Amino acid sequence: MSDEREKLELEEEALLSALSSHSVDEFRKIYLELHPYDQAKFFVKLDEHDRSTLYTYLSPEEMAAVFENIKDEDDQYETYLSEMDPTFAANMLGQMYADDAVDVLNELNKDQVASYLTIMDDEAAEEIRELLHYEEYTAGSIMTTEYISIHANQTVHSAMQILKNEAPNAETIYYIYVIDKDKKLVGVISLRDLIINEPDEMISEVMNERVYSVSVAEDQEEVARKMKDYNFLAVPVIDFQGHLLGIITVDDIVDVIDEEASDDYSKLAAISDVDSNDRGPLTAAKKRLPWLIILLFLGMFTASLIGRFEETLDKVAILAVFIPLIAGMAGNTGTQALAVAVRRIAVGDLEDQSTIKMIVREAGTGLITGTICGVVVTLIVFIWQEDIFLGLLVGISILATLTVATIAGAFIPLIMHRLKVDPAVASGPFITTINDIISILIYFGMATLFMQYLI
């Protein structure tokens, strides 16, 4: 693969020099040989001047393939389009797979969308208009309408003919969907099955009537899970009456799985989204500051809580030594429980009985880890400070804190899930802060209560 990388670098240099010397033919020869993903990677690295030249070297159809493969640069779509001649831009959008074109148009304002759709070829504009209706993160928003459908009373041979004609435009040709006269989905046949069966067999004889489909309003994460579990390369999307509306292909699902996982990860780390792009520190700071400021105020609240125990602290200064330990352990165990709960919700492993079972399980887990950690802490503090009461105070605080913090870590995302809030928002830092507060109340509460043994 390093050979390939070297080759690619050489080609990129050749492309750049072809651009600057205005050698159209040379440029096209090399560029169109590249995989569209590499074409897109080259394109996004260019400056405005070179991009303007490039637009004049490619047809709208060729440019469409480039645009379909631009990843992680959604915020640049508008810039790119504004650099193009509007008719060229509209033609290019019309040539893209409808689902990809919709992704681009979703980054523009309504007036811009309307004007591109007006210039565009009617059929393409109609397809795109339909897809634009669907809400983000639903099956409808990631489906495409470029699928192949046939009727049950056709033969395998005629199905193959349809397939040959539509293959250049369809997003996948590996599943062919069978519909009735009302466009209702009644079956599916894979290209594998078409090839294996005799040409004169009827589709109704060889098709699979048990079609797995998803509803157009279904959450994209749900769709991704199904496709992953069932190893589908594509899945049909239907409305509530069973009409076939479109299909979702596995390449879009791979992106969804990646995005959703990255999203959960970011939230656990309290960043709105991981900026893998090379932006300046000001942009990065702007993204992280909202979270930090919220956490700062929550931290201030914790501080004011400790402030109420200033008298206790004044008498027994050693108490302060264990604050980070206890608060830290509460945070750690809470984050563990949270992560398990968030992932379980994400994989959909959550029916009514199992919610209660999960809380009970987490309580048990917290009790076990709390007891073990509590005993260890009591012993260490006793040996270190030669004070069994202090040891017991810290140990019992750890036991109580770990139990409560574990339950809180599991309970809070479950509640949020019930309230239809994305449980991943309840991220690490929030759980940690809530558990800070719980742990400090337990620790200082007990210390104040048993003050006489500590002085």
- For a copy of itself, the binding residue among 99, 100, 127, 436 (CB under 8 A) is 436
Q: Which of residues 326-365 bind a copy of itself (CB under 8 A)?
A: 327-329, 331-333, 335-336, 338-340, 343-344, 347, 349, 354, 357, 361-365
Closest distance of CB 133 from a copy of itself, Å: 21
Nearest CB to a copy of itself, comparing residues 187 and 429: 429
Window 187-206: contact mask with a copy of itself (x via CB under 8 A): ----xx--xx----------
Taking the alpha carbons of 161, 163, 168, 170 in that order, is the dihedral positive or negative?
A: positive
**Chain centre distance of CA 318:** 46
What is residue 176's three-state secondary structure? strand
**Would you put residue 231 in left (φ > 0), alpha (ψ -120 to 50) or beta?**
left
- For a copy of itself, the binding residue among 164, 205, 388, 449 (CB under 8 A) is 164
Closest distance of CB 325 from a copy of itself, Å: 4
| Strand runs labelled E in 195-261 | 214-215, 234-238, 244-249
Closest distance of CB 132 from a copy of itself, Å: 23
454 contacts 393 by C-beta, under 8 angstroms? yes
Q: Is 412 in the site for a copy of itself (CB under 8 A)?
A: no
Q: Is 274 in the site for a copy of itself (CB under 8 A)?
A: yes
366 contacts 404 by C-beta, under 8 angstroms? yes
166 contacts 247 by C-beta, under 8 angstroms? no
Chain length of the chain: 455
Binding piece for a copy of itself, criterion CB under 8 A, among 95-103, 111-119, 145-153, 317-325:
317-325
Nearest CB to a copy of itself, comparing residues 183 and 228: 228
In angstroms, the CA 50 to CA 47 distance is: 6
Q: Is 448 in the site for a copy of itself (CB under 8 A)?
A: no
- For a copy of itself, the binding residue among 320, 375, 415, 449 (CB under 8 A) is 320
Closest distance of CB 150 from a copy of itself, Å: 15
Window 368-397: contact mask with a copy of itself (x via CB under 8 A): xx--xx--xx--x---x-------------
The count of residues interacting with a copy of itself (CB under 8 A) is: 119
Residue environment code for 180-196, b if the CB has 16+ CB neighbours within 10 A, otherwise e = eeeeebbbbbebebbee
Q: What is the CA radius of gyration of the chain?
A: 30
